[in-house]
Chains A and B, each alone.
Chain A
Amino acid sequence: MDSIPSDAARDGSICDEAIVLSVTCALAKDALSYFQSGKFHECIDILIQLNHKKRNDPKVLHNMAIAEYFKNACSNSKKLLEDLNTVKKQSEELAKEPLEAVNPGSNVSVSKDLFDSTVTTLNIAVTWFHLHQYAKCLSILDPLFLNIEPLDETIALQICFLMLDSALACHDAVKFLEVFGHLDKSFGVGFGTHEEIGSTMQLSSNQVSKTSSLLSSSAASDALKSDLAAAESGLCEEGLEYDNVLAEIEAEKRMKPVGHIPANNLLKTIGERSILTVDVKLELQLYKVRFLLLTRNVKLAKREVKHAMNIAQKRDSSMALLLKSQLEYAHGNHRKAIKLLLVSGIQKELRTSGIFNNNLGCIYYQLGKYQAASVLFSNALRNCSSLRKDNPVKLFSLSQDKSLLITYNCGVLYLACGKPLLAAQCFQKASLVFCRQPLLWLRIAECCILALQKGLLEGGNTSSDRSEIRVHVIGKGKWRQLMMEENGFVELGGSAQWPKLSLPLARVCLSNSMYLLNVSLMNESKSDLESPLSVMINDTKEASWSDHGDANTNSELKEAKGGMNQDIIQNSLSAYKDIRRRENHLLKQALLANMAYVELELENPIKALSAANSLLQLPDSSKIYVFLGHIYAAEALCLLNRPGEAGAHLSAYLLGQEDFKLPFAQEDFDPWRMNMSSDCEETSDCSTGNARDSLKPEEARGALFANLAALFATQGHYDQAKPFIQHALTVLPNNVQATITAVYIDLMVGRSQDAVARLKQCTRVSFVPGRLEVRAS
């Protein structure tokens, strides 16, 4: 049945059409009200009736798909996506038909409206968003955004907010600004318009109740004072300890058992686009703060969050408080961050308690309290899983399921604690969300390398075995012989239980990471060409990242006199791009260094050499990576029988004839330390960081001595080698490799007594009895 009025009029059957129209119109209203009250069965029944009356109307099919999804407790996102995509394709085909049969007099736009697939597209994007596919979500919404002017305000707002959240999740500041700029133009928050705006942008909505944000606002303001008091008393007196925090959380729970929000209230919001009730002004202000946090413009964020607090004062301030907490966290003021996090009150609601635990875990991680952080993260995961179980009907239970993000945090934590296997499991799980991020792959590779160091890899020969020299004492009395073994074989107990971490896996991960990094660099340079922002504004930051301090915060931006404007935002963006560029540059160095290392471990000197050479060719590299590049290249060259070139790499650091300078300074390591802006209030105990994280400059110098000695020794220049190995052993008295080289030199010059004496001095040598009992004869 054709429902286009003009066609109907031509048929002369206006009456029938009108009746059908009014009937379907009434049915549609019924369906909506059933949907809103959560009666999905009834809703679907009506939709089926409608479908009989209007064969294959895409909108009916669309709503049916949505209702079905809710009926099945939001369990089958895949089917929903399939259905929605079918509907979308259908609408697009239908939209084409009348256009093809264009006759100039008719009104094409009517039919366009009828088959408009905007809502369907939006819903597809929403579903992807909940599946954590943020980039996909953005790419689906992009065409809608390009043509957003004609869309109804409510839909347009939903599209924009969804894009903002996705862009934040993707760290895509450019896309964020594009969308934010549009909203700014339409709703006029303006950056830095600081006059108090009393009126809120309540869009055409009669619903005032705040189901929107974290807490119902009345509860928030009541609880706020007591919370503040509690936090003050609990935390000011140096009560930062984890137990206190836990106790506090417990107390909260006891006082107010976390009840579920009445289902009625919730379901109402499903149909009614609860986003409308959101105070757009506040919302935009909060987004602005999040943008500034993303671009690490701490100073500006501080100012804007104040403004947000002012707007939020009479309403729901929990989100503003949460952002303030994040701000302090970014700033390194961890105590303050904890305080604000508690005050925000998000721990009280089941929905957000996981988020609370996660964020608190982040803070404790930064404080170096890994134990506490790990408890918090696992609590957060538990919160998430209970949320999944308890609230099947809520769609947003899906979006509230942040467990994959928390899992990533767990991975970082385990890696820092030196538990590579657990960490790798976490990263592998989190790869569902982060598989396009180069850093994730580097982290997995680091897990492999750490596992190698700890002797947790399958296949035996690991470098941990190398940390000991074994001298087998064979035979007795006059028959006694010593057998040196620096590469002993250690049986791994039950090696089958380890996951598939391996060096080849590390190699694959590293090349994945490199590929993704290159792709993103390419995209960036492309977008730079397109955007007028390509001119770097920050000349002051040209120094390499190694200049420590707040290299990674965007705080050098001068505050503009008076209000902020677009320029400041653009500056913030370009400064952020600059930061990202430096981080990517550092990431590239790390990748190449790891590649060279892994290839050496895999006994593939050709590949190791090429990785090391590419590392050395990078401009403005960190001194640490330059050192690693030289030392890996030298070893690879030795393995390729090119000692001359190897020597050149090492002697780059020679100071005079027989001394090496420090290849890098301790300051070069600052990016490895906790990242804190210069003006943070407290210093955390960096010492808790794993020793494996860093390489001391003095050790690096010792390695140069030892390696040059080894090089001389292999060439038969024992006299030249001797002073170097002596230096090496002074710097690194218990180093296994240096000891072996020294023993080798001793033996080569015929001083086996000295060699054995040396072995006896080294604390890392163990004399073990021969393994065989006499069995022969």
Chain B
Amino acid sequence: MTIMKMEETAIVWTLLQSDLRPIQDVLAEFNSKFTRSRYFPVCSSLSILLQDPMILRSTDRLIAFAIMHQCYSSVKPSLNPFVSEMINAACNEQAEKYERAFLLHLFQWNSYNNAKEIFKLSAADYIKTFDPSTNDFPELGELQREYGNKADGPSSHMFADYALKKLLHDPDVPRGCDPNSPEFDVQVQPGGISKIGSGDRNEAISGILGSLTMGGLAPRWIRPCPPRYPVHQSELLWIDPDNKHELVWDDKMCADTSRGATVRDLLVKGLKVTLSPTEQEDITTALSNDPKLVYHCGITPRKLPQLVEHNPQIAVEILTKLINSPEIVDYFTALVSMEMSLHSMEVVNRLTTAVELPKEFIRMFITNCISSCENAKQQDKYMQNRLVRLVCVFLQSLIRNNIIDVKDLFIEVQAFCIDFSRVREAAGLFRLLKTLE
């Protein structure tokens, strides 16, 4: 983006050339034409033009400096962004004395304090009336100490810090050539061919003003663009026709809910009394005819103990069919936590041969059996003996059928056998353990 708009360029250029008007008039006009926000762009452009001693005429230069000063006259000189350029110009030995003095007046340095008076003159008059014998010029350091930028400019980063001005002399123009010398400025006849080397200062300056952009020329960094993420062939979507997933009509609507009603009724009965063989037969056939019926037969984990007590056969049947159910754990828990009895052990024993039971469950069941025997001690010796015998037979069966690994329970079972060594079956179990050892 160029710094200045076309109209601005024209205005600035006109102002710079007003060498015959009093400087203060020129400054007033500048103030009226530019808002504060445009000061910086204008001054930046001017500073670039000022860097080359040849481009601008001496009167133009004075006006340019005056503008640069005027724009930032409300703040301390050290806050003027262009102060270092002005200081450098004021101390430039090669520069004209009147220019250096003019700058010192702007700075109001020591005895140079009649800027106001000078502004009443036109730039041309100032040069004319300047006393060339003036010789009191300060050192660069002095001015810098006085007005210089204390803090380095807060430029954004190091590339910008080291940016270089972008304006180059065309090397085809000989170095020593003084464009101000009248040698080339022979008036071209209308229709004639202009002489090589002739040119128009105005054109060049307004061209520069019009093309200037912010920022200088800095070393450039190569920033490679990240490569595109590879397209794997699976990223392109190969489409297979789906199965037709259609909306389903619910055909259970108003349907006969009597599915398995007889079985349910029989099972309700079976929670309380032992069913007759024919009744048991009915249940078994119904369950095997409809594999999903078992989920609808009304036996919940809570009801399971009752069923086990009265109809262990049926309980085994149902549990076997439920083995894939996600709720089977609840049924097992119910089985483990119910009171130990011949029937519960029978159910577990049969289950072990029919399906694969979780090890954890069997272990818990056995532990439960053993502790039941121990607890029975306080109540009834006879009952206890009976229970111990049952447990022993149950355990022997498990061991013989390789349902449990004795090692897992060895200590527990051994202690149990020793505890109840008076019972014949316990002694038998102990011997069995010893043979396995």
Cross-interface CB contact of A772 among B6, B162, B170, B226, cutoff 8 Å: B6
A 11-48 to B, binary, CB cutoff 8 A, 1 in contact else 0: 00000000001001101100110010000000000000
Whose C-beta in chain B lies nearest to the C-beta of A592? B226
B 250-271 to A, binary, CB cutoff 8 A, 1 in contact else 0: 1111111111010010001000
CA distance A485 to B167 in the complex (A): 10
Cross-interface CB contact of B200 among A319, A693, A741, A774, cutoff 8 Å: A774
Which residues of A from 432 to 453 have beta carbons under 8 Å from B?
439, 442-443, 446, 449-450, 453
CA distance A367 to B166 in the complex (A): 49
Contact A346 B184, beta carbon cutoff 8 Å: no
Q: Which residues of B contact A462 (CB under 8 A)?
A: none
Contact B166 A484, beta carbon cutoff 8 Å: yes
Answer yes or no: B193 CB below 8 A from chain A CBs. no
Contact B226 A628, beta carbon cutoff 8 Å: yes
Q: A57-B253, A771-B207 are in contact. List 6 more A-B contacts (CB 8 A).
A: A31-B253, A472-B211, A478-B179, A675-B232, A744-B220, A748-B164
Contact A699 B224, beta carbon cutoff 8 Å: yes
* Number of chain A residues whose Cβ lies closer than 8 Å to a Cβ of chain B: 184
Answer yes or no: B238 CB below 8 A from chain A CBs. yes
Q: Which residues of A contact B129 (CB under 8 A)?
A: none
Contact B173 A359, beta carbon cutoff 8 Å: no
Which residues of B from 150 to 187 have beta carbons under 8 Å from A?
156-159, 161-162, 164, 166-173, 177, 179, 184
Whose C-beta in chain A lies nearest to the C-beta of B243? A161
Contact A446 B223, beta carbon cutoff 8 Å: no
Answer yes or no: A409 CB below 8 A from chain B CBs. yes
Contact A149 B199, beta carbon cutoff 8 Å: no
Least CB distance, A214 to chain B, in whole angstroms: 6
Contact B233 A737, beta carbon cutoff 8 Å: no
Contact A483 B231, beta carbon cutoff 8 Å: no
Binds B, one of A109-117, A301-309, A527-535: A109-117
Answer yes or no: A647 CB below 8 A from chain B CBs. no
CA distance A153 to B295 in the complex (A): 13
Binds B, one of A118-126, A220-228, A236-244, A563-571: A118-126
Least CB distance, A310 to chain B, in whole angstroms: 20
Q: Which residues of A contact B157 (CB under 8 A)?
A: 605, 638-641
Contact A107 B207, beta carbon cutoff 8 Å: no
Answer yes or no: B93 CB below 8 A from chain A CBs. no
Answer yes or no: B9 CB below 8 A from chain A CBs. yes
Cross-interface CB contact of B247 among A123, A146, A590, cutoff 8 Å: A123
CA distance A752 to B169 in the complex (A): 8
Which residues of B from 1 to 38 have beta carbons under 8 Å from A?
1-2, 6, 9-10, 13-14, 17
CA distance A283 to B210 in the complex (A): 76
Contact A165 B245, beta carbon cutoff 8 Å: yes
Q: Which residues of B contact A396 (CB under 8 A)?
A: 244-246
Contact B230 A675, beta carbon cutoff 8 Å: yes
CA distance A408 to B227 in the complex (A): 20
Binds A, one of B296-304, B347-355, B407-415, B423-431: B296-304
Which residues of B from 200 to 252 have beta carbons under 8 Å from A?
200-213, 215, 217-252
Answer yes or no: A296 CB below 8 A from chain B CBs. yes
Answer yes or no: B198 CB below 8 A from chain A CBs. yes
Answer yes or no: A477 CB below 8 A from chain B CBs. yes
Given the interface pairs A322-B240, A695-B227, the reply to whether A28 lies near B255 with Cβ below 8 Å is yes
Contact B227 A108, beta carbon cutoff 8 Å: no
Contact A771 B254, beta carbon cutoff 8 Å: no
Which residues of A from 721 to 749 have beta carbons under 8 Å from B?
732, 735-738, 740-741, 743-745, 747-748
Q: Which residues of A contact B225 (CB under 8 A)?
A: 449, 453, 463, 597, 692, 695
Q: Which residues of A contact B261 (CB under 8 A)?
A: 5
CA distance A752 to B253 in the complex (A): 94
Cross-interface CB contact of B246 among A395, A740, A753, cutoff 8 Å: A395
Contact A740 B217, beta carbon cutoff 8 Å: yes
CA distance A442 to B213 in the complex (A): 36
Contact A695 B197, beta carbon cutoff 8 Å: no
Answer yes or no: A399 CB below 8 A from chain B CBs. yes
Contact B241 A352, beta carbon cutoff 8 Å: yes
CA distance A443 to B17 in the complex (A): 58
Answer yes or no: B192 CB below 8 A from chain A CBs. no
Whose C-beta in chain A lies nearest to the C-beta of B306? A104
Answer yes or no: B324 CB below 8 A from chain A CBs. yes
Given the interface pairs A362-B238, A395-B246, A478-B197, the reply to whether A109 lies near B171 with Cβ below 8 Å is no
Contact A25 B255, beta carbon cutoff 8 Å: yes
Which residues of B from 284 to 304 have beta carbons under 8 Å from A?
292, 295-298, 300, 302-303
Contact A50 B254, beta carbon cutoff 8 Å: yes
